[in-house]
Structure formats: C-alpha cells, structure tokens
C-alpha cells in the first residue's frame, strides 16, 4: 500500500531546515527502500514549499510512524503534515491497467 505524505514547510524555518539537511538526507537514505518517490515542491519564485513523499507502508499507522521520526518533522520545520492513501495510475503497474480502469478493455 502507498501513502502520499505532504509536509508543508513552516514560515521562517530555512535556517533550521538547512542545518538539518544532512540528517534529513541520511534518514531518507536509510529508508529509501520504502520510498517510491519524493522531493520538494517549489514556488514560481523558487522557494521550497512542501516536501512530498510517496511511501510504501503496510498501513496508515506505519506511515504515521515513519513521518513522526523524520528529522525535519521532529524539529518543527513542517507546519502541517497530511497523509493520504495513494493509488498509482501512472506509470501503469501492469500494461493496459489505465484502459481497464476507464472501461475500454
């Protein structure tokens, strides 16, 4: 099962985030086998806004436990964390899955 974890950055935390970046990246490296994809969203002005992770987890509680131990989250870099189940449509897990989903096959 996959979960989308959307972490909205708090205001005025750039200095804290940059200081924690090596620790954050080590955490991501240690957990990369569970992360389908991830990275920041960036505003039109080039400012980081949100960290988005698609995480493989057995259930919501496991996804919550993962983000609870994330260094940025533990240090108050995020103003809000939203976790939702994520269902992959593209790229297709199996050839023809999208057409089957829309009822064309």
> What is the pLDDT at residue 43?
94
> What is the pLDDT at residue 105?
58
Domain ranges of the chain: 2-101
Compute the distance between CA of residue 16 and CA of residue 13 in angstroms, rounded to an integer.
5
CATH entry 3.30.70.1060 includes domain 2-101? yes
| H-helix segments, the chain | 14-30, 60-68, 71-74, 97-101
What pTM did the predictor assign? 0.88
Could you give the dihedral angle defined by the CA atoms of residues 71, 74, 77 and 80, in that order, rounded to the nearest 10 degrees? 120
Low-confidence ranges of the chain (pLDDT < 50): none
Both structure tokens of 30: 């240690």
- Residue 52 falls in which region: left (phi positive, over 0), alpha (psi -120 to 50) or beta: beta
């Amino acid at each position: 099962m996959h979960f989308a974890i959307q972490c909205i950055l708090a205001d005025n935390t750039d200095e804290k985030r940059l200081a924690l970046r090596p620790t954050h990246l080590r955490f991501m490296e240690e957990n990369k086998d569970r992360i389908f994809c991830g990275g920041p969203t960036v505003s039109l002005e080039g400012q980081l806004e949100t960290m988005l992770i698609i995480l493989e987890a057995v259930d919501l509680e496991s996804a919550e436990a993962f983000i609870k131990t994330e260094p940025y989250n533990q240090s108050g870099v995020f103003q809000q964390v939203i976790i939702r189940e994520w269902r992959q449509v593209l790229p297709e897990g199996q050839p023809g899955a999208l057409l089957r989903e829309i009822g064309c096959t």
